[in-house]
Amino acid sequence: MTDHGPSRRGVLRAGALALTAGLAGCGSSAPTADGSDASAAADATTTGPSPYTRVYRDAIDSVLLVRTGAGSGTGWVYDASHVVTNAHVVGEATAVDLRTRDGRWYTGDVVGTDRNSDLAVIEAADLPDAATPLSLAESPATIGQEVVAIGNPFDLDGSVTTGIVSGTDRSIPAPTGFSIPDAIQTDAAVNPGNSGGPLMALDGRVVAVINSGGGDNIAFGISAALARRVLPALIETGSFEHSFMGVSIATVTPQIAAANDLDEPRGLLIVSIAPDGPADGVLRPSDDAETVDGERLPVGGDVMLAVDGTRTDTTEALGSYLALETRPGDTVSLTILRDGEERTVEVELGARPTRPSAGFGG
């Protein structure tokens, strides 16, 4: 049902206009010969479009509706012949329909998908000249940074919403059951149909590929840093392999630290290890559990403090490091706490399996 009454935003806007008018009435600007306010006339001629308008105008020809037999989403032009979207948008489709802002339809072939990062690449060589590539941001997104989301929510072509980066280094669910690390959180409105679209900084660069939304001022996107690693491989080979350590971990909370007689809560406790996985025989998992204040807590096992010198106090920190700094086959140096003493061990990383099992997400 459509609500035709005044919205809260409309009421606030009306109030702001009324306040502006009231303040203008107290100003000292001299009227022009025709009775108008000279300063207001000057402002009207010198004020250009808002930064959001500029981003939208520069990018909208490069943002496309992506439609399959199962639904639709958004995509954006990555290079002269490829469009980026979410893996969950293309699903099992091998070909998709693409629509530009002026309503023209094109066809594209899905040349690569990575469900672990929820990214997909579509080849579409005959797009119009106005559909120029958008660039991925080279610097990490920062909390408080203003952003613009462009997409097709509920098939409403070329919609734009604005907000800020609300959080970084988030961990969000992937279609495979693993987690997508280094994700960007925003309060820009994102709804079904926005998936795969660009979340853009005011300089016109893509800081994230929109992945999910619809919550109360909470939406997420795949970071430009992760996209920069995955997309070239999808174009070249059609797939991407993620590093895998084969451990199930728990953040060392004050309660876990107390249960394990640790001096302070830091690092990640190795709860279990995948049989025959990369860490099997190198790391020690928990071997018991203890109930503290009604909560069952793992006891025993190594505590991971750092990977290659990078601290791992959170699961997000470990996930982001593995995703952005390593590849399958790399050997990483782990600083661990074992039997109360710090030591260093090495693990040769494997490739992430098709699906996680028994919680082995890292």
How many Cα neighbours within 13 Å face the side chain of 359?
8
How many angstroms separate the CA atoms of 40 and 24, rounded? 9
Model pLDDT, residue 41: 42
Residue 3 appears among annotated catalytic residues: no
- Distance between first and last Cα of the chain: 45
Burial of 80 (0-12, 13-18, 19+ CB in 10 A): exposed
Using a cut of 0.95, tell me whether the model's pTM lies above it.
no
Q: Do the Cβ atoms of 317 and 325 come closer than 8 Å?
A: no
**Nearest partner of 231 among 196, 280, 276, 267, judged by Cα:** 196
Q: Which residues of the chain have pLDDT under 70?
A: 1-47, 355-362
> Which of the residues 117, 159, 179, 195 is marked catalytic?
195
Strand, coil or helix: 21: helix
Structurally, what CATH architecture does the domain formed by 50-239 represent? Answer: Beta Barrel (2.40)
Q: Do the Cβ atoms of 88 and 195 come closer than 8 Å?
A: yes
Cβ contacts of 290 within 8 Å, gap of 6 or more: 259, 296, 297, 299
> Which of the residues 114, 118, 157, 187 is marked catalytic?
118
> Which of the residues 61, 88, 182, 302 is marked catalytic?
88
Model pLDDT, residue 61: 97
pLDDT tens digit sequence for 71-115: 999 999 999 999 999 999 999 999 999 999 999 999 999 999 999
Quickly name the fold that domain 243-351 has.
Answer: Pdz3 Domain (2.30.42)
Strand, coil or helix: 134: coil
Residue 204 DSSP class: S
Enter the tokens of residue 113. 């998908």
Give me the residues paired with residue 16 across strands. Answer: none
Going from N- to C-terminal start, the domains of the chain cover 50-239, 243-351
Residue 272 appears among annotated catalytic residues: no
**Nearest partner of 63 among 154, 150, 193, 155, judged by Cα:** 150
Residue 88 appears among annotated catalytic residues: yes
Enter the tokens of residue 298. 């793992």
Count of beta carbons in the 10 Å neighbourhood of residue 357:
13
Residue 39 — φ and ψ, nearest 5°? -65, -35
